[in-house]
């Protein structure tokens, strides 16, 4: 059974940093592109970042470029999102998702940026 | 960046009725790399359609997708009670990838 388990969300002050993790199981992790998608409270879905199978290629939404870094550890079947210089508008539930078209999603982890 | 505009914002229908949701792109979506998701309150999104018209594993055949270029449609042939939810389109061909703003299907 394919499973994605998001974790690492927390309450953090503006300007702070956080690292999210997504632990995967039930499939060959290194064979799939992976993404992060977020959803602010009461709002729609926002694509954040995507990483290639090897981790060599990454893309970001303009809203997070230069502040967030996506990475993966194929030996540990884990996806990461390092978030720096956090702002109020980064407050959201963050989901990891598998494949180019996001066929499986994690349960989400909540990030709250507030002083 | 491709902007996806979904319409209508809200669709009020009764169980058993047909739902037609639209997703219009600001420029052509390459290779029909367009997906649709369903999100129920408090749940993660669920993939319904990818490649504009391919149903995801386990998705009932009352859900169908069509379209190409800049105009795409999700059709639910006969609404079941569990289909009342928010639906998003998403292009994944080129980056930055984007989502539409969503269409809420609620009970009339």
Q: Which of A27, A46, A60, A101 to mutate to test the interface with B (most CBs of B within 10 A)?
A: A101
Cβ contacts of A104 on chain B, cutoff 8 Å? 47
Using a CB–CB cutoff of 8 Å, tell me whether B95 touches chain A. Answer: yes
pLDDT in the model for residue B13: 96
Q: What is the dihedral of CA A41, B38, A67, A113, to 10 degrees?
A: 20
Could you report the per-residue pLDDT of A68-111, keeping only the tens digit for each?
999 999 999 999 999 999 999 999 999 999 999 999 999 999 99
Phi-psi region of B68 (alpha: psi -120 to 50; beta: other; left: phi over 0): beta
- Confidence band, pLDDT 50/70/90 cuts, at residue B31: confident
Confidence class for position B94, pLDDT limits 50, 70, 90:
confident
pLDDT of residue B30: 85
Residue B23's pLDDT is 98
The three-class DSSP label of residue A113 is strand
What tens digit of pLDDT does each residue of A3-42 get? Answer: 999 999 999 999 999 999 999 999 999 999 999 999 999 9
Asked if the Cβ–Cβ distance from A102 to B39 is below 8 Å, we say no
Give pLDDT, residue A89.
Answer: 97
Which three-class secondary structure string do you get for chain B? CCCEEEECCEEEECCCCCEEEEEEECCCCHHHCEEEEEECCCCCCEEEEECCCEECCCCCCCEEEEEECCEEEEEECCCCHHHCCEEEEEECCCCCCEECCCEEEEEC
């Amino acid at each position: 059974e394919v499973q994605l388990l998001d974790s690492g969300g927390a309450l953090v002050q503006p300007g702070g940093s956080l690292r999210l993790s997504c632990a995967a199981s039930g499939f060959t992790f290194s064979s799939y592109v992976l993404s992060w998608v977020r959803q602010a409270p009461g709002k729609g879905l926002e694509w954040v970042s995507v990483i290639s199978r090897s981790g060599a290629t990454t893309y970001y939404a303009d809203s997070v470029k230069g502040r967030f870094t996506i990475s993966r550890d194929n030996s540990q079947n884990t996806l990461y999102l390092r978030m720096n210089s956090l702002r109020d508008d980064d407050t959201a539930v963050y989901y990891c998702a598998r494949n180019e078209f996001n066929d499986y999603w994690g349960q989400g982890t909540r990030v709250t940026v507030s002083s | 960046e491709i902007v996806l505009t979904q319409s209508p914002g809200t669709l009020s229908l009764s169980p058993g009725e047909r739902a037609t949701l639209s997703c219009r792109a600001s420029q052509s979506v390459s290779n029909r790399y367009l997906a649709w998701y369903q999100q129920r309150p408090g749940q993660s999104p669920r993939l319904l359609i990818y490649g504009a018209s391919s149903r995801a594993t386990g998705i009932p055949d009352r859900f169908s997708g069509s379209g190409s270029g800049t105009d795409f449609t999700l059709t639910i042939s006969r609404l079941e009670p569990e289909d009342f939810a928010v639906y998003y389109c998403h292009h994944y061909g080129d980056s930055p990838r984007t989502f539409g703003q969503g269409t809420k299907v609620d009970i009339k």
